[in-house]
Amino acid sequence: MNINQEQLRKAIVSLAVEKALVTIGRPVYEKTIKQLSKDYNCYLPECYEHPEYLNKVLKKIFGNAHVTIIDAIKKELDEQIKDKPIAVFVTAISE
Amino acid sequence: MMATFFGKESVKVVTDFAYIPVTAAFVILSIIIFLRFKKTGNHGKAWLLFLGTAISWFIAETTWTVYELVYHLDPFPSAADVFYIAGYPFLFLFSLFYLKPFKKLISRKMILCASIISISVLIPNLYMTVNNNSDESEFAIALGATYPIADAIILAPALIGIFLFFRGEVNFLWTLLLIGILFQVIGDTGFQYFTLDNSYYTGHPIDILFIWSYILFSFGVYSHIQIFKKSDKISEHNKLV
């Protein structure tokens, strides 16, 4: 049951990241995935456990402006924020 | 530069023909980046508008060459100006759409600083336009003054872009756009000065700035093509998700 819940959270986080990035442009989403894989050998669902990777990759691509993308991801996760592990992810991605 | 040794006629022909492949390359690169984004998201729309700028300026340069080399007419003012001017709203809208996802970071102070810098680059041009004793028509003088104004308008979002994307990979595009726009500001101010002075001719050293601005814009687009190029990693990832 716990494993399933974790998988569900990973999917929710992945979808939130995808939605936030595709709003900018699909190639932006694709570039982020590529960079995560290149720099950290990490796939998007694994960012749930390593939000710092996603933060660093977005910063590498967009510099100072990466914080607005982080905000957009947080906004996408607003409805799930009551779920503690999601809240932990949201806090960690901002650091 | 070499053509200047063979007289003004040679330099005119060489310069006119140099603009066409340079702006054609600019159009081709803009088409490539537009096809990569395919109107997806704000940046997709932004690149469609950028393509509008590239096409407008390519048509403008071709029209200028046709006026000068085919019809042997003075290309300023002419139909070419319609296309030169048309490129500016497209470029301004490109900047707006590109920066839209990051608008939360754009403060009033930032807009004010960018506006002050942009307005300050207009001062030499406005001074020249007001205090001129040229025999050029009022329309030509007003048209010549329009370009630095349009440059100043597109300079403001470019300055904001540099600040927003500082230390990011996409900042290379904004740096090249900013330098290219600054070249255009100097080029257009110089064009106005030498036109009022009756000493401008196609191939004048000031034209080097315009050619370089197109080259810088093209390299900026090329850097984006490289950053956002398709990768096999994506299909691999999609299989896993």
Question: What is the span of the domain harbouring residue A59?
Answer: 2-94
Phi, psi of A82 (to 5 degrees): -70, -25
Using CB atoms, pick whichever of A23, A27, A63 lies closest to residue B36. A27
Chain B residue numbers with beta carbons less than 8 Å from the beta carbon of A71 are: 104
Contact B115, B156 (CB under 8 A): yes
Asked whether the beta carbons of residue B168 and residue A66 sit closer than 8 angstroms, the reply is: yes
Query: Looking at the predicted structure, is the pLDDT value of residue A82 above 70?
Result: yes
Rounded-to-integer distance, Cα B76 and Cα B81, Å: 8
Cα separation, B175 vs B31, whole angstroms: 21
Phi, psi of A67 (to 5 degrees): -65, -30
Mean pLDDT of chain A: 92
**What are the tens digits of pLDDT across the range B117-164?**
999 988 888 888 778 778 888 899 899 989 999 999 999 999 999 999
Residue of chain A nearest B174, judged by CA positions: A62
Q: How far apart are CA B151 and CA B180, in angstroms?
A: 10
Provide the mean pLDDT of chain B: 91
Which residue is it, tokens 């756009």?
A: B177
Which chain A residue is nearest to residue B102, measuring alpha carbons? A68
Name the residue facing B233 among A33, A60, A66 (closest C-beta).
A33
ipTM exceeds 0.85, yes or no:
yes
The pLDDT assigned to B33 comes to 97
| CA-based torsion, A8, A14, A15, A20: positive or negative | positive
Contact A26 B37 (CB under 8 A): yes
Q: Looking at the predicted structure, is the pLDDT value of residue A8 above 60? A: yes
Nearest in space to B133 (alpha carbons), one of B196, B191, B192: B196
Q: What is the pLDDT of residues B180-210, one digit of tens each?
A: 999 999 999 999 889 888 888 888 999 999 9
Q: In terms of Cα–Cα distance, which of B221, B234, B236 is closest to B43?
A: B221
Measure A44 CA to nearest chain B CA, in Å.
Answer: 8
Beta-carbon separation of A24 and B42 below 8 A: yes
Contact A60 B37 (CB under 8 A): no
Give the model's pLDDT for residue B233: 59
d(CA B113, CA A33): 36
Contact: B164, A63; criterion CB under 8 Å: yes
Of A25, A44, A62, the CB nearest to B41: A25
Q: What is the pLDDT of residue B40?
A: 87
Q: How many domains does chain A have?
A: 1
Residue B174 scores a pLDDT above 60:
yes
CATH number at residue A61: 1.10.1200.200
Nearest one of B117, B109, B125 to B153, comparing CA atoms:
B117
